[in-house]
Amino acid sequence: MDDNILSGPNPADSCKIGPTSAQKRNQKAYKVRVRAALFQKDRPLPGHPCNDDEELYPKKIANFSKALPHNQLGEVKLKAYKTLIRALATGDPDVFETIPMGGAARLVNPQAAYAYDLAGPDSHHLSILPPPAFSSAGMAGDMAELYWQALTRDVPYADFGTNELTNAAAVDLSNFSVFCGPKVNGVVTPQTLFRGNAPGCQNGPYLSQFLLKDFPFGAKTVDQRYRTPVSGVDYMTAYDDWLGIENGSLPSTPGLYDTAPHYIRNGRDLGEYVRWDFPFQAVLTACLILLGFGEAVLAPCNPYLNSATQVGFATFGAPHILDFVARSARLALEAAWFQKWLMHRRLRPEEFGGRVHNLITGAADYPINKELLNSQAVAGAFSKYGTYLLPQAYPGGCPAHPSFPGGHSCFVGAGVTILKAFFRESFIIPNPVEASSDGLSLLPYTGGPLTVGGELNKLAANITLGRDAAGIHYRSDMRSLYLGERAAIGILQDYKKTYNERIAGFFVTKFDGTKVKI
């Protein structure tokens, strides 16, 4: 290959015009990168607290161990767990190859916990509050909600107000001393059931408009009907099946599906969506819908809104926003994977369900909070399935990486934050819809106005709690929304000084309702 193709012609022969010479541009580009790096480096180092369960329980009953070998109670064999810890403590790729495995399943990407990135905050520079402890009332509230989500998977969202099961769920969850879902006057209602806490999450239909409305995809328009599982089929409710999966066996039966595609209408459908989606799929869809609304939906900070001669493209146009949507997802996942593997190693709900089953049947003695053991949720699961295991929506249950924090929650939190920065949060979404009870059609939604900011918050909650509906995450795992939010804010901070356009900054309403300028 000609070296001149790689190095370019002599800078002195350049036809370049502009306010700086090639040499000055080169130096300024370097300084922009250095300033961004120094900004991240000089931020205070955060603490990384954990709930101390790993030290408290010698048998590691409160920690993730799926795919490692276990005894008959589903307790991990300590030699295998100690090897996992040695690999994580050293970061040595060769040690990871010595971890004893229980079957064909393999651990999902623990070495991502050590990755560095070149934009935004380092993954180890982002902190999060720890999850509830194994024996706590908070864990009891988390698990009770999951049992109810399993029992109500086939109830259409449109029927939550009238269905006997969803009304029973609301009453039961209201009785827990610690339940972090939204309430009305201190009580869980069918309207607040399985919803998020951020502004807008409790307004209108359960599902965000960004998971329902058609979206433009290049030269075609795509409707959001998806392949959905048949109703009434759950998995890992037989003890031997559960134990085999915990040991790393692959599921013996595939999922069963309806012949017709459906709009997402219930927890089973939503759980299936977040089983197969790629990391920024839902946010990409939302971005395409928003771009289709035209200039009126762009954030007031966009420098081209008032230009008589220019429009945005590579900067402050579709390519810019779409790039940041994807870019933020990977950085958020790195932050989540650091917390998952090097900090918390929280057991998955299916593992906790095994602890519940073995305690109630007398096979083992575990310090599980009695609020959960005495709940109607656990009794309902036993009545339906004959075990106290947590019914799973997927044949193989959860993926082989720890529960906390949620990966989906983290990357959707980042992507939604990016969209809030580039689009007008107060914009009213035109012609809102909701899915029919059978999921075969969309119906006009005639309630109050739905804003971009509220529906983006709702999208983040849907994607997060959809994983809960499948039985593979807890509500408290959605704390990682804030982790993703901080990752996205860090990207926006690093890039703010890279633009030639005059901008006052980005303005974002965070998930906790506070407004920030970036």
Report the catalytic residues: 401, 408
Instruction: Give the chain's length.
Output: 518
- Conformation bin of residue 45: beta by default, left when phi > 0, alpha when psi is -120 to 50: beta
Helix (H) or strand (E) holding 240: helix 239-246
SS (H, E, C) 303-358: CCCCCCCCCCECCECHHHHHHHHHHHHHHHHHHHHHHHHHHHCECCHHHHHHHHHH
Residue with the two structure tokens 């239909």: 205
Residues pairing with 316 in the sheet:
313
Long-range contact list for 169-172, CB < 8 A, 24+ apart?
169/193, 169/377, 172/144, 172/148, 172/375, 172/376, 172/377
User: Is residue 489 within 8 Å of residue 516, measured between CB atoms?
Assistant: yes
Helix residue ranges, H only, 91-224: 93-96, 137-151, 164-174
**Lookup: tokens for 55:** 């030290």
Angle between helix 137-151 and 164-174 (nearest 10): 180
Which residues fall within 8 angstroms of residue 44, CB to CB, at 6 or more apart?
none
Which residues fall within 8 angstroms of residue 470, CB to CB, at 6 or more apart?
267, 271, 272, 274, 275, 392, 393, 394
Helix (H) or strand (E) holding 220: strand 220-222
Residue 432, preceding bond cis, omega within 30 degrees? no
Which residues fall within 8 angstroms of residue 215, CB to CB, at 6 or more apart?
221, 222, 224, 285, 288, 289, 292
User: Which residue in 233, 297, 302 sits closest to 426, CA to CA?
Assistant: 297
Helix (H) or strand (E) holding 507: strand 507-509
Instruction: State residue 202 phi and psi, 5-degree precision.
Output: -100, 5
User: Is residue 449 within 8 Å of residue 428, measured between CB atoms?
Assistant: yes
Cα separation, 179 vs 334, whole angstroms: 29
Cα separation, 255 vs 257, whole angstroms: 7
DSSP 50-119: ---HHHH-TT-TTB--TTS-B-TTSPBPHHHHHHHHHHHHH--HHHHTT---SSS-----GGGGG---SS
Which residues fall within 8 angstroms of residue 91, CB to CB, at 6 or more apart?
111, 114
